[in-house]
Structure 1
């Protein structure tokens, strides 16, 4: 039996290619109906209607109040589909809103309460839509760590953010990428100050707010008012948060977990790189499983493992060689990798 750390994706992972993902993969029709009922009670389109739409609409499907529920359900469905006769899950983590999915996969929230948390926070962020995000790489195409480049970019972020009219912060440390958040003038200043790379960066993220910054304090406060601590419980799997901290079964302060989830996790930088590093070093799994939807998080996981010098890897070539020999990473959103972790 293989051991595995499970990783839940965040916003931006349900796109045109993922339309119909729940219809293709969600394993529990009764649970999906319960999610649909919660959406209907709130006056929102059901997940079944969104996922079953004739065509993907960026304006409709990427909105926080729709995307969060779709992504949460897709991730939870994939978690339920993992073949437990072949794979022992030893810990769960996530990227950004993937923390809400991780809480449900790890048992600290019931599936319904996990859905309530993800859907409520996505709705609150969409209603407020404070600031935005842009993404920029600091690793080159070969993924060889160049920490001096990262320092230069973070110094630039600090310089811009210190100007009176500009707000700019590190939102997510995402492997070889920096996800930055701030107000419009702060984001524009950064985008003008850096050279275009890989023909697509810097890339502004549509329908994204300034997640994981102090700009989200009003959203965090509204979330705490709407989502009581009684929804939370002891996890049944170790949970690794956006600081690399582990919440252990039978040893978790549930009130502190609630406070982190609807406080620090919303208003401070999310260090996904550190979470993956902690997962590798603390649990030394045979495999990292990235749940769907989407296929974009696998690169950040691989880059984070390289930055952690996991199993001696120091570049993209090293990772590809190891992956070809014995897979270290399985992305359930990829049809060719999904069978590695699911029953036939």
Structure 2
């Protein structure tokens, strides 16, 4: 019997030094990859083959929005195409932040080429504008136990800073046990100075990230709507769970509404990844959550989201690990050993 799975597509910040060469190692369709590079050449951008095949990883080059979005989209789609469909039935697709564009293509609401066009265009527009920034700060403890009062206190601090003159700060992404905050430099700096440093690395500023999922991105969303026509969007083949936890169903999706969300609220309002995972678990009850590559960082946020949802009665990291050891709940395709359990071909 096939295992059922929800596929989860990662967002920005997941193609890093250890991912260099990921497309060369794993992408299953050279002709499709070349079609992506043809679009990049037309735009005067370095090709994915050049970026992925570079001798060394460059933070300045590889993490720019116009390059990172294209690399991540291609790596995600390649992994999705590599899932062994003889063994695994994909019941829904979701993603984190720019992973929404990848999810649209994986679910069939955009063709692979049009999905690349959307991801590349939005990444390029955001890089050109580079409005504001992002930081990350946890509200759960190191055993990932929920602390709703602490979360409420932190969000009250965010609201208080945002209310100050010339300060902008808001919740960008609800990412499991993490708050991803976005705003202008004054807002971000005030938060960094006024909260307690924890786990020796938080609050952590995210390099080359703009104030994603806030009203500051309204000009980028407007440009996206001007450049990406309605005709790109179509009915999905698989259910899609968006950044509000809403489900877009095959044969019942108003495609204009899907475009309006993708190039509107998805860009300018909080992305609730935690809610998306909660809905994925409760509505589809999959045997497995598959996190495509690149990278390995999103698995923790998925696990934390399941714990916050009290999925299978879990309420801590210890519970999740015990459950996962008994019957694996999560397969991260960016990890070689876990990739083998869901991929129809292992390439090294």
The normalised TM-score by structure 2 is 0.98
Aligned to 2:198: 197
Q: What CA distance in whole angstroms lies between the structure 2 residues aligned with 1:145 and 1:169? A: 21
Q: What CA distance in whole angstroms lies between the structure 2 residues aligned with 1:322 and 1:21? A: 30
Aligned to 1:329: 330
Deviations 1:2-50 (A, max 9, x none): 0000000000000000000000000000000000101001000000100
SS at match of 1:125: helix
Q: What CA distance in whole angstroms lies between the structure 1 residues aligned with 2:183 and 2:10? A: 22
Deviations 1:128-175 (A, max 9, x none): 000000000000101111100000000000000011110001000000
Residues 61-76 of structure 1: pairs in structure 2 closer than 5 A: 61-76=62-77
1:336 Cα deviation after fit: 1.4
Residues 31-50 of structure 1: pairs in structure 2 closer than 5 A: 31-50=32-51
Aligned to 2:128: 127
Aligned to 1:15: 16
Aligned to 2:147: 146
Aligned to 2:253: 252
Q: What CA distance in whole angstroms lies between the structure 1 residues aligned with 2:242 and 2:149? A: 26
Is 1:82 aligned to residue 83 of structure 2? Answer: yes
1:343 Cα deviation after fit: 2.1
Q: What CA distance in whole angstroms lies between the structure 2 residues aligned with 1:337 and 1:199? A: 29
Would you say how many aligned residue pairs link Structure 1 and Structure 2? 344
1:281 Cα deviation after fit: 0.3
SS at match of 1:178: strand
Aligned to 1:234: 235
Structure 2 regions of 5+ residues with no counterpart? none
Q: What CA distance in whole angstroms lies between the structure 2 residues aligned with 1:34 and 1:297? A: 28
Q: What CA distance in whole angstroms lies between the structure 2 residues aligned with 1:192 and 1:11? A: 25
Q: After the TM superposition, list the runs of 4 or more consecutive aligned residues in structure 1 that deviate by more than 2 angstroms.
A: none
1:202 Cα deviation after fit: 0.4
Aligned to 1:137: 138
1:125 Cα deviation after fit: 0.1
Residues 178-189 of structure 1: pairs in structure 2 closer than 5 A: 178-189=179-190
SS at match of 2:100: helix
Structure 1 regions of 5+ residues with no counterpart? none
Aligned to 2:209: 208
Residues 276-315 of structure 1: pairs in structure 2 closer than 5 A: 276-315=277-316
Q: What CA distance in whole angstroms lies between the structure 2 residues aligned with 1:233 and 1:342? A: 27
Q: What CA distance in whole angstroms lies between the structure 2 residues aligned with 1:343 and 1:188? A: 47
Note the aligned Cα RMSD (angstroms): 0.4
Q: What CA distance in whole angstroms lies between the structure 1 residues aligned with 2:60 and 2:325? A: 38
Q: What CA distance in whole angstroms lies between the structure 1 residues aligned with 2:60 and 2:326? A: 42
Residues 162-173 of structure 1: pairs in structure 2 closer than 5 A: 162-173=163-174
Aligned to 2:341: 340
Residues 22-33 of structure 1: pairs in structure 2 closer than 5 A: 22-33=23-34
Q: What CA distance in whole angstroms lies between the structure 2 residues aligned with 1:340 and 1:275? A: 24
Aligned to 2:99: 98
SS at match of 1:275: helix
SS at match of 1:337: helix
